[in-house]
Amino acid sequence: MCGIIAYIGEKNSVQILMEGLKRLEYRGYDSCGLAVMAEGAPYCVKTTGRIINLEKKLANVNISSRMGIAHTRWATHGKPSEENAHPHFNKDHTIFVIHNGIIENYAILKRELMKLGHPFSSETDTEVIAHLIEEFYDGELLPAVLKCLDKITGTFGLAVFHAEEPDQIVLARRGSPLVIGLGRNEMLAASDVNAILRHTDKVIYLDDDEVAVIRRDGFQIMSLTQETVYRTPEKVEWQIADTEKDGYPHYMLKEIFEQPETVLNAFRGRIIPEEGVSKLGGLEPVIDQLKHMKRLIVVACGTSYHAGLLGQYMFEKMTDVDVDVEIASEFRYRNVHPHDGTVVLAISQSGETADSIAALREARRKGALTLGMVNTVGSTIARETVAGIYNHAGPEIGVASTKIFTSQVVILALFALLLGRYQKLSMTDGAGIIRAIQQLPEQISHILDRADHIRAIAQKYYKYNSFLFIGRMCNYPTALEGALKLKEISYIHAEGYPAGELKHGPIALLSPHCPVVAVCPQDSMYEKTISNIKEVEARSANIIAVCTEGDDKLTEITRDIIEVPATVEFLNPVLCNVPLQLLAYYCALYRGCEIDKPRNLAKSVTVE
């Protein structure tokens, strides 16, 4: 999704902006551009496609510049083209704007501005901002930006400069993240902290409806009504090294291999084995409300939604809480009435997913207590919820989520355990669950040690164009997530199904041309799933089975077996998911796909 980077200071801004753009690449984009102040005159360059195209355009240009703005665009209004790429500008090329979000009333504004003689050169909603600022400009940029913001509706993360006021960049936020980076004799701003981490770890996250002015030697934050806002800078806990590939060919592979560590980080310091319970510091402020809660609604998108589905099984097993798991983009438009004491939990890696934020706001409006589970400290969901839990899994750069998924599942287990111990779970059972959680990092390492075996299976199957993934109970979400991973990065059509549902439709697809990945560890549904696998076998489809180590029955049915260590029933998805991530990764590798930046996908979806 769109990315913003802005710089003002003493260094070569082009270099800093280009480097920042590369750090935003993982979010997904289709065009990019930058505008800088170069020796008294602005210079703007844009391109479709990758940042390398921008680099080529800049290769023979010699610019000396100490300030500028740059952007990666993910098309919403208007196709990916050079004209539609940001920065956008006014007619005499003095005002330059980059924007994340959507200006909902742009069409009306555009018509009015055109009548006033403003020539438009793009199909975007963003361009109206540049012309509107020009319309209000009377020698000072900030008041003109404020007047412009007053006119527009929609969402924005905005960075603007005026060629006649090169000592400042104006920023504004409503619904699209923006963070200011505080350096020594330099200031940066970005939509994503990764873009500025190389220069500073001192940051300030802007809140909605705040405007900021950054200068080489200072900054000022204010509300839209110009009241000064005082905010203490925060320290980013990630290191720049966390955002690098560390010798792996792809971020996704690195992140898959980080899982022993990220799963450990998910429960480190959060368990009390002798009492068979967990402790989640972020939930302490609301623990009295949570102890006896009866209903939990989880809202999430994509992979985080699949983690939520797994949470449902855990809460059923350990607590008296009724859990509904809702796709955030649907929930936000439903008319759900949270009864007294309903808690709504948003699960989101980025903490910035527009649909999840909207679902959360809707729940809050109706009186629910809102919680967040996010990986990105300081993100919108983290700040807008009453309490929450961080993943502490480090940055996830690969667009397809892997390590955050397993981290989310483990944290959901800790959450269910925490409440379960106030409700129906015994200390002995709680202690057993903790022991199983503690074993996960080593068990995951064991699976990763056999990555070559999964690679060999991928090599055998990567040319197939359609896959079915099946599983029952808590391995149904595992199947959904396995299928999602495969389609996201290898573009192979894949569907996840509850194995018992095969006979109601998908069985029609079975043939030697459609391999079936069966998630079938030895749990309470084992025999039932075996029966479903037999149905598959009878239709001559190839079967890849993910099963518990030492399973003899499945070895009789198929040679393509992926074994995982034994664990408690509802933690099987953590272990079974790891080989499915690898399967997707290697299939994509053999198909020559761009694994970390799959087509059309964005890491953080900040528009509806």
Residues annotated as part of the active site: 2, 603
State which of residues 342, 605, 606, 607 lies at the interface with ligand G6P (CB under 6 A): 605
- Residues between 103 and 132 that touch ligand G6P (CB under 6 A): none
Provide the mask over 137-176, with x wherever binding to ligand G6P is found by CB under 6 A and - wherever it is not: ----------------------------------------
DSSP H or E stretch at residue 149: helix 141-151
6 near ligand G6P, rule: CB under 6 A? no
CB 506 within 8 A of CB 535: no
Name the region of 238 (left: φ>0; alpha: ψ -120 to 50; beta: rest): beta
State which of residues 180, 187, 399, 502 lies at the interface with ligand G6P (CB under 6 A): 399
Which residue, 155 or 353, has its beta carbon nearer to ligand G6P?
353
Which residue, 122 or 349, has its beta carbon nearer to ligand G6P?
349
Name the one range near ligand G6P by CB under 6 A: 209-217, 317-325, 347-355, 589-597: 347-355
Q: Shortest distance, CB of residue 373 to ligand G6P, whole angstroms?
A: 9
Which residue, 396 or 551, has its beta carbon nearer to ligand G6P?
396
State which of residues 122, 262, 353, 490 lies at the interface with ligand G6P (CB under 6 A): 353
State which of residues 84, 265, 356, 542 lies at the interface with ligand G6P (CB under 6 A): 356
370 near ligand G6P, rule: CB under 6 A? no
What DSSP character marks residue 125?
S
DSSP H or E stretch at residue 96: strand 95-100
State which of residues 65, 262, 303, 385 lies at the interface with ligand G6P (CB under 6 A): 303
Helix (H, G, I), strand (E, B) or coil at 428: helix
Which residue, 101 or 430, has its beta carbon nearer to ligand G6P?
101
Bridging pattern class, strands 210-215 and 169-174? antiparallel
Instruction: Concatenate the DSSP letters of all residues of 351-371 into one string.
Output: S--HHHHHHHHHHHHTT-EEE
Which residue, 336 or 601, has its beta carbon nearer to ligand G6P?
601
379 near ligand G6P, rule: CB under 6 A? no
Name the region of 246 (left: φ>0; alpha: ψ -120 to 50; beta: rest): left
Q: Tokens for 339?
A: 């009864």
State which of residues 31, 122, 194, 401 lies at the interface with ligand G6P (CB under 6 A): 401
DSSP H or E stretch at residue 308: helix 302-318
349 near ligand G6P, rule: CB under 6 A? yes
329 near ligand G6P, rule: CB under 6 A? no
Helix (H, G, I), strand (E, B) or coil at 329: helix
Name the one range near ligand G6P by CB under 6 A: 62-70, 113-121, 342-350, 453-461: 342-350
Q: Shortest distance, CB of residue 16 to ligand G6P, whole angstroms?
A: 27
State which of residues 100, 126, 265, 304 lies at the interface with ligand G6P (CB under 6 A): 304
27 near ligand G6P, rule: CB under 6 A? no
Judged by CB under 6 A, the number of residues near ligand G6P is 16
385 near ligand G6P, rule: CB under 6 A? no
604 near ligand G6P, rule: CB under 6 A? yes
Task: Using the CB atoms, write b or e for 241-267: b if 16+ within 10 Å.
Answer: ebbeeeeeebbbbbbbbbbbbbbbbbb
Helix (H, G, I), strand (E, B) or coil at 547: strand
CB 198 within 8 A of CB 175: no
Q: Cα angle vertex 493, ends 492, 494, to 5°? A: 105
Alpha carbon distances (Å) from 309 to 262, 405, 452, 478, 552: 20, 12, 30, 9, 30
- Alpha-carbon gap, residue 436 to 310, rounded angstroms: 16
Q: Shortest distance, CB of residue 485 to ligand G6P, whole angstroms?
A: 9
371 near ligand G6P, rule: CB under 6 A? no
User: Exposed (0-12), middle (13-18) or buried (19+): which is 565, by Cβ within 10 Å?
Assistant: middle
577 near ligand G6P, rule: CB under 6 A? no
Binding residues for ligand G6P, per CB under 6 A?
A: 301-304, 348-350, 353, 356, 399-401, 601, 603-605
